[in-house]
A and B are shown apart, each in its own frame.
Chain A
Amino acid sequence: MLTYIVRRLVTAALILLGASFLVYLLTALSGDPLAEFRASSAPNRQALMDSRTNLLDLNTPAPLRYFKWLGGAAQCLVPFGNACNLGKNIAGQPITEALGFALVQTLTLVTGATVLAILIGISLGVVTALRQYSALDYGVTFMAFLFFSLPIFWVAVLLKEFGAIGFNDFLRNPEIPPAVALGIGAVLGVIAAVVVGGAAKRRLIVGGSVFAVVSLILFYFSLTQWFRNPGLGPVIIAILGAGIAVGITILVSGLKNRKALQSSLIVVGIGVIAYFAMQPLLNEATGLMIFLLAIATILVGMAVGYFMGGYDRGQSMRAAAITAFLVGALVIVDRFMQAWPSYFNNSRVRGRPIATIGAGTPNIQGDFWILSTDTLTHLVLPTVALILVSLASYTRFTRSSMLEIMNMDFIRTARAKGLSERSVIMGHAFRNALIPIATIVAFDIGALIGGAVITETVFSVRGMGFLFIDGLLHIDPNPVMGVFLCVAVTAMVFNLIADLAYSALDPRVRIKA
């Protein structure tokens, strides 16, 4: 095992050397860094050219410049040396500094989108696999192909036009005409009827009730101008929480495990009490505090599950912990909604909350909630765009993996010994179907750091992709190399992790030492 890892790391280092040499040469030779001065007629043309030549060290041939760069980069390997030197970009800013900034921007942009895309994609894939060759399956398959074929810059422009500008116009006078409310309700009702499956009567009941509930909610929202003054309140949190508790219990342990159901419901009760108790504390919130509260919430859930006991403590703990986390999230969402009116009327926002470009409103003032809302409203559009284009591959992959597992003999055995369909799917099929998906996810996380170059360009986020493209357009190898180094190192590390994870998850796969 250890020899395997060491061997992989040594090969990776050699590959990295070769690839970085290649990238440096390609970038350096891809154009003329002085082209903009050659065309200009400024009187100090020669001086400008000299200073650029000095800055980029153009008098040294590119292959030699690479070794100079490598000398600086090698110092990064010294732990705690603080002597990391990746050169400077064309504006004179050290690359290490620029990279740090860009990394934060990119990670805030892609993390949420990737997590959501993975969650939605996997659940869609499982559902379509279970309903193979149904209307839902064909619909999702077609949508997957469609999303797979969408150019992201095209989606982005549409989102800006209809998602941001349209929604902001709507917020000015948030009234939903009855016809529109009925229409949205009807569409969601049809979708629900297709998703539920089963007999026609069941579909009709589910579809009809979804239609009625959604239309009524929209009427209510329109009457109370909810979109201006959104909020959940303790009652809604309690109702939603009870729904979450039942749903999670069905998935984790099945409703037959009464102890699990009871512990989830108790957790929801605690959550509603905490809603009142926490409000003063939440007013003073910071990011760290939210994080600690999330961990505390999960621990409370696990403790409740542990003390409820029952024949399977683990299931109760799991169900209660997941419920606790989700109810906690509801409380946080409610707090964000409380901050919404003051954000909406902020002098910098001026009633147009959904932003089309950038990563934050410049010079915005306010407490934690205002600032977080600001970041979130800037993240909405890129996140939706990224989810749309990356959803398809997860859906298709999960579907085929799940179908393969569902046709295996051990699933037949599990059914034959009388297990419920829930435990066959969740316990036997889903867990095994996740193994190949885990490796795909690891690959994708490795590729994340490179940033979504096009998304960053379209939404003017100054992340890793922007740094790279900017460096490339100025024929400046240093930023390009910095980005490449980050991308390549994370990609390789995560490839290694993916391989190790595969052999850890699937004992049939053995690592050749």
Chain B
Amino acid sequence: MSQPTQEEELLAQQALAEAAATQTGSEITSGLSQGQIVRKRFFGHTGALIGLAVFVVIFLLAFTAVGAFGLPGWWKYNYLDVSPLVNDGAPTSSLWPFAWGEHPFGQDRIGRDLFAMTMRGAQQSITVMLLIGGIAGAIGAIIGGLAGYFRGWVEAILMRLTDVIIIIPLLLLAAVVGQIASRRDEGSWIAGFASSNSVVILGIFLGLVSWVGLARLVRGEFLTLREREFVDAARISGASNARIIFKHILPNAVGVLIVNVTLTMSAAILLETALSYLGLGVHSPDTSLGLLISQNQEAFATRPWLFWYPGLFIILICLSINFIGDGLRDAFDPRQKKFKAKSAVETTRQSSTTTAPLADTAQGS
């Protein structure tokens, strides 16, 4: 047996990883605030950076191309405009030679520009996603924080409320909510606003029902943090409850919150598209990525592009958010020893062959 067995390799890797981690830990983190450490780790995570870049590009593209908030976009067509069919609606864009063409993503059966529709759909999906993330994060943090900090009857009431909402499957609840949000037939105060901003209403309602998982996590985090010595110290020196919550506990729980808000957001994209697909979310004449797929799935054999592009954008948005969430999780986890495999592997090679300083390889991007 000349080659090392697997267990030896594993053990060696572990030892090196720990060595590298302590090395990097002591070299990098000294004199940095928590935020700086997190930022540094996040920007060292290749997957998360690519995810962030892709998301920013899609975000800018979606919100500038067809215009938003009443501002006009730079793309010549609107998602409602009907124009004559060019080349029977097939996409005019090509990668080589690179050309953008008249209708880069093609046109649908009646001649609407798919690029404009996809951009509008991406806009809607991103809006819903951000609304759900923001609202669910805020409510989850408040309810979870209050329950975890005050315990007693506050916790009992809030957590039973959470239990009530959590046993209703989210899709079923969202479907009811989507149904309510899309009502336009009655002359209530909400109807006027809803008819022009149905997607905003949808996002707000969905945010109001998807905080339960977050609340449980935040409560768990608060429960452990409130027993720690620094909280006792703050209380003894006379800090008020609000100060303890906001200045002492929340900054320590914010990692869990941010990571899970990101994951909620990636689930929210799929939730919104699924609801629109079922006919319970965004309704025509407005459009959304899920609605585009549901309208065009029958045309797959004749006009496959109508199906590919919206799906591609759903996957790209969701994938980039997932990678960002993964990067955030790695960045916020204080227990993690090793977040870059390469540096550890390089350390092995370097240390066995040359006398290059370890810290350099460990710090190198």
**Segment of A15-23, A114-122, A300-308 engaged in the interface with chain B:** A15-23
Q: How far is the CA of A14 from the CA of B183 in the complex (A)?
A: 32
With contact pairs A15-B167, A148-B322, A149-B318 given, residues A26 and B176 touching in the complex (Cβ less than 8 Å) = yes
Shortest Cβ distance from residue A482 to the other chain B in the assembled complex, whole angstroms: 12
Q: Is B242 part of the contact surface with A, judged by Cβ < 8 Å?
A: no
Q: Is B294 part of the contact surface with A, judged by Cβ < 8 Å?
A: yes
Total interface residues in chain A, CB < 8 Å:
52
**Segment of A47-55, A186-194, A338-346, A487-495 engaged in the interface with chain B:** A487-495
Contact between A492 and B167, CB atoms less than 8 A apart: yes
Q: Which B residue's beta carbon lies closest to that of A468?
A: B172
**Segment of B1-9, B95-103, B348-356 engaged in the interface with chain A:** B1-9
Q: Is A445 part of the contact surface with B, judged by Cβ < 8 Å?
A: no
**Segment of A150-158, A228-236, A247-255, A291-299 engaged in the interface with chain B:** A150-158
Q: How far is the CA of A488 from the CA of B169 in the complex (A)?
A: 8
Shortest Cβ distance from residue B218 to the other chain A in the assembled complex, whole angstroms: 20
Q: Which A residue's beta carbon lies closest to that of B340?
A: A133
Q: Is B213 part of the contact surface with A, judged by Cβ < 8 Å?
A: no
Q: Which A residue's beta carbon lies closest to that of B181?
A: A30
Q: How far is the CA of A146 from the CA of B270 in the complex (A)?
A: 13
Contact between A15 and B160, CB atoms less than 8 A apart: yes
Q: Is B273 part of the contact surface with A, judged by Cβ < 8 Å?
A: yes
Contact between B10 and A161, CB atoms less than 8 A apart: no
Residues of A within 8 A of B165 (CB): 19
With contact pairs A32-B185, A154-B311, A406-B10 given, residues A22 and B168 touching in the complex (Cβ less than 8 Å) = yes
Q: Is A421 part of the contact surface with B, judged by Cβ < 8 Å?
A: yes
Contact between B179 and A151, CB atoms less than 8 A apart: no
Q: How far is the CA of A483 from the CA of B176 in the complex (A)?
A: 14
Q: Which B residue's beta carbon lies closest to that of A38?
A: B185
Q: How far is the CA of A361 from the CA of B84 in the complex (A)?
A: 43
Q: Is A447 part of the contact surface with B, judged by Cβ < 8 Å?
A: yes
* 8 Å CB contact of A149 from B3, B13, B163, B266: B266
Residues of B within 8 A of A239 (CB): none
Shortest Cβ distance from residue B58 to the other chain A in the assembled complex, whole angstroms: 13
Within A437-469, the residues touching B (CB, 8 Å) are 447, 450, 453-454, 457, 468-469
* 8 Å CB contact of A150 from B5, B163, B167, B315: B315
With contact pairs A146-B319, A149-B322 given, residues A30 and B180 touching in the complex (Cβ less than 8 Å) = yes
Contact between A153 and B167, CB atoms less than 8 A apart: no
Contact between B319 and A157, CB atoms less than 8 A apart: no
With contact pairs A26-B176, A406-B10 given, residues A151 and B164 touching in the complex (Cβ less than 8 Å) = no
* 8 Å CB contact of B274 from A35, A148, A151, A447: A151
Q: Is B297 part of the contact surface with A, judged by Cβ < 8 Å?
A: yes
Contact between A19 and B168, CB atoms less than 8 A apart: yes
Residues of B within 8 A of A148 (CB): 266, 318, 322
Residues of B within 8 A of A415 (CB): 7, 11
Q: Is B293 part of the contact surface with A, judged by Cβ < 8 Å?
A: yes
Shortest Cβ distance from residue A76 to the other chain B in the assembled complex, whole angstroms: 18
Contact between A157 and B293, CB atoms less than 8 A apart: yes
Per-residue 0/1 for B165-198: is the Cβ within 8 Å of any A Cβ (1 yes, 0 no)?
1011101110111011001010000000000000
Shortest Cβ distance from residue B25 to the other chain A in the assembled complex, whole angstroms: 17
Contact between A145 and B175, CB atoms less than 8 A apart: no
Chain A interface, >50% SS class: helix
Contact between B277 and A153, CB atoms less than 8 A apart: yes
Q: Which B residue's beta carbon lies closest to that of A154?
A: B311
Shortest Cβ distance from residue A281 to the other chain B in the assembled complex, whole angstroms: 44
Q: Is B34 part of the contact surface with A, judged by Cβ < 8 Å?
A: no
Per-residue 0/1 for A130-156: is the Cβ within 8 Å of any B Cβ (1 yes, 0 no)?
101100000000000110111111100
Residues of A within 8 A of B322 (CB): 145, 148-149
Contact between A133 and B341, CB atoms less than 8 A apart: yes
Per-residue 0/1 for A154-180: is the Cβ within 8 Å of any B Cβ (1 yes, 0 no)?
100100010000000000000000000
Q: Is A407 part of the contact surface with B, judged by Cβ < 8 Å?
A: yes
Q: Is B211 part of the contact surface with A, judged by Cβ < 8 Å?
A: no
* 8 Å CB contact of B3 from A32, A146, A152, A199: A199
Q: Is B365 part of the contact surface with A, judged by Cβ < 8 Å?
A: no
Q: Is A98 part of the contact surface with B, judged by Cβ < 8 Å?
A: no
Residues of A within 8 A of B177 (CB): 26
Contact between A19 and B167, CB atoms less than 8 A apart: yes
Shortest Cβ distance from residue A224 to the other chain B in the assembled complex, whole angstroms: 32
Residues of A within 8 A of B270 (CB): 149, 151
Among A11, A32, A472, chain B packs the most CB atoms within 10 A around the CB of: A472
Q: Is A502 part of the contact surface with B, judged by Cβ < 8 Å?
A: no
Within B299-327, the residues touching A (CB, 8 Å) are 300-301, 307, 311, 314-315, 318-319, 322-323, 326
Q: Is A29 part of the contact surface with B, judged by Cβ < 8 Å?
A: yes
With contact pairs A35-B185, A149-B266, A454-B277 given, residues A15 and B164 touching in the complex (Cβ less than 8 Å) = yes
With contact pairs A157-B300, A447-B169, A468-B172 given, residues A151 and B314 touching in the complex (Cβ less than 8 Å) = yes
Contact between B323 and A145, CB atoms less than 8 A apart: yes
Q: Is B28 part of the contact surface with A, judged by Cβ < 8 Å?
A: no
Q: How far is the CA of A146 from the CA of B244 in the complex (A)?
A: 41
Q: How far is the CA of A32 from the CA of B301 in the complex (A)?
A: 38
Q: Is A424 part of the contact surface with B, judged by Cβ < 8 Å?
A: yes
Contact between B274 and A454, CB atoms less than 8 A apart: yes
Q: Which A residue's beta carbon lies closest to that of B318?
A: A149
Contact between B176 and A472, CB atoms less than 8 A apart: yes
Q: Which A residue's beta carbon lies closest to that of B180?
A: A30
Q: How far is the CA of A145 from the CA of B262 in the complex (A)?
A: 14
Residues of B within 8 A of A369 (CB): none
Per-residue 0/1 for A401-441: is the Cβ within 8 Å of any B Cβ (1 yes, 0 no)?
00000110000100100000100100000000000000000
Q: Is A106 part of the contact surface with B, judged by Cβ < 8 Å?
A: no
Per-residue 0/1 for A212-252: is the Cβ within 8 Å of any B Cβ (1 yes, 0 no)?
00000000000000000000000000000000000000000
Q: How far is the CA of A75 from the CA of B23 in the complex (A)?
A: 67
Contact between A31 and B293, CB atoms less than 8 A apart: no
Contact between B167 and A29, CB atoms less than 8 A apart: no
Contact between B167 and A454, CB atoms less than 8 A apart: no
Q: Is A484 part of the contact surface with B, judged by Cβ < 8 Å?
A: yes
Q: Is A27 part of the contact surface with B, judged by Cβ < 8 Å?
A: yes
Contact between B169 and A450, CB atoms less than 8 A apart: yes
Shortest Cβ distance from residue B332 to the other chain A in the assembled complex, whole angstroms: 15
Q: Is B284 part of the contact surface with A, judged by Cβ < 8 Å?
A: no
Residues of A within 8 A of B171 (CB): 450, 453-454
Q: Is B290 part of the contact surface with A, judged by Cβ < 8 Å?
A: yes
Shortest Cβ distance from residue B343 to the other chain A in the assembled complex, whole angstroms: 11
Q: Give 7 A-B pairs besides A11-B160, A23-B172, A488-B168 with Cβ atoms closer than 8 angstroms.
A: A11-B163, A19-B167, A32-B185, A149-B314, A154-B314, A407-B14, A472-B175
List A residues at the B interface (Cβ < 8 Å). 11, 14-16, 18-19, 22-23, 26-27, 29-32, 35, 130, 132-133, 145-146, 148-154, 157, 161, 199, 406-407, 412, 415, 421, 424, 447, 450, 453-454, 457, 468-469, 472-473, 480, 483-484, 487-488, 491-492
Closest 10 CB pairs of A and B: A149-B318, A133-B341, A30-B179, A154-B311, A149-B319, A26-B176, A19-B164, A18-B164, A157-B297, A450-B169
A-B contact pairs, 16 of them (CB 8 A): A11-B160, A14-B160, A19-B165, A27-B176, A29-B180, A30-B179, A31-B183, A32-B185, A132-B13, A153-B274, A154-B311, A154-B314, A157-B293, A157-B300, A415-B11, A491-B167
